[in-house]
Copies of this chain bind each other. A is one copy, B any other.
Amino acid sequence: MTIRLFLVDDHELFLTGVRTELAGDDSFDIVGSATDVDDAIGAIRKSEPDLVLIDVHMPGGGGLAVIQNVAETHPDIRFLALSVSDAPEDVIAMIRAGARGYVTKSIGPDELADAIRRTADGDAVFSPRLAGFVLDAFAGAMPRPSDPELDQLTPREQEVLRQIARGYTYKQVARRLSISIKTVETHVSAVLRKLQLSSRHELARWASDRRIV
C-alpha cells in the first residue's frame, strides 16, 4: 500500500531534497507540494493525501495555520511536522494543533522515510532529542521539568518569585496576592537566601534565564 504524500515547505531547495530522496521509494506517492500557507490549504483539500509533511515556520501563520484549517474539513489527513527548530514551544504548538509527529530537519533520508511510514501507520514519531521532553510535557497533567533549584522553594515562594521577576514592587505583589508587604519581604528573603542571590535584580536575571515569567 503506497502512502499518498503532500509536501509543504517555503524553502524550494529543501522541497527538492525531500522529493529527490523519496523518489526512489515506491511506497510513497508524492501527490503535490506547496511553498506557502494558502496554496497548501487549497491543494491539500483537493488532493486529499494520506499524510502531509509540513514545515513549522512559514510566512503567513506557519504550519500551524495549515493544520488547523485542513483538519476542520479533513480530520483523517495526518500531519508530520518537519522543522529546523527543536524549541519546546514549537513542538507543543504543533502537537496541540493535531500533528502526529515532529522531526527536525537534521534527520537523514532513511530515518525520514521510516518516520513517514510509521506516522502513516498511526505511530507518534519524534526525533530522539524531542521524545524525552514530549513525554515529560504530556505525562500526567504536565509535571514540569522539575528544576532542582526551583524545587527547594515552597509553592508560595515560587509564586512570589514569578511576581518579582515580572517587575512588580513588593507593594504591588502584596496587593496581587492579597497578603501583607511584610509577608512578601519574608518570601523574597527566603528565595534570595535559597538561590544564593543578593538582590531582586539578580533574581530577575535568574528568572529570565530560566524562562520563568
Contacts and interface: CB of A to CB of B under 8 A. Distances in A.
A60 interface: no
Contacts of A57: 84
Contact of A105 (B11, B107, B112, B204): B11
Interface in A81-113: 84, 105-109, 112
A36 B15 CA distance: 21
A12 B17 CA distance: 8
Counting chain B CB atoms within 10 Å of each CB, which of A18, A105, A108 scores highest? A105
Contacts of A10: 106
A183 to B, nearest CB: 21
A20 interface: yes
A21 interface: yes
Contacts of A15: 17
Interface string A159-195: 0000000010100000000000000000000000000
A201 interface: yes
Nearest to A108: B12
A2 interface: no
A14 interface: yes
A141 interface: no
A1 interface: no
A167 B202 contact: yes
Interface string A17-49: 110110000000000000000000000000000
Given A12-B109, A167-B201, 14 more contacts: A11-B14, A13-B18, A13-B107, A13-B108, A14-B17, A15-B17, A16-B109, A17-B17, A20-B20, A57-B84, A84-B84, A167-B205, A169-B199, A204-B204
Interface of A: 10-18, 20-21, 57, 84, 105-109, 112, 167, 169, 199-202, 204-205
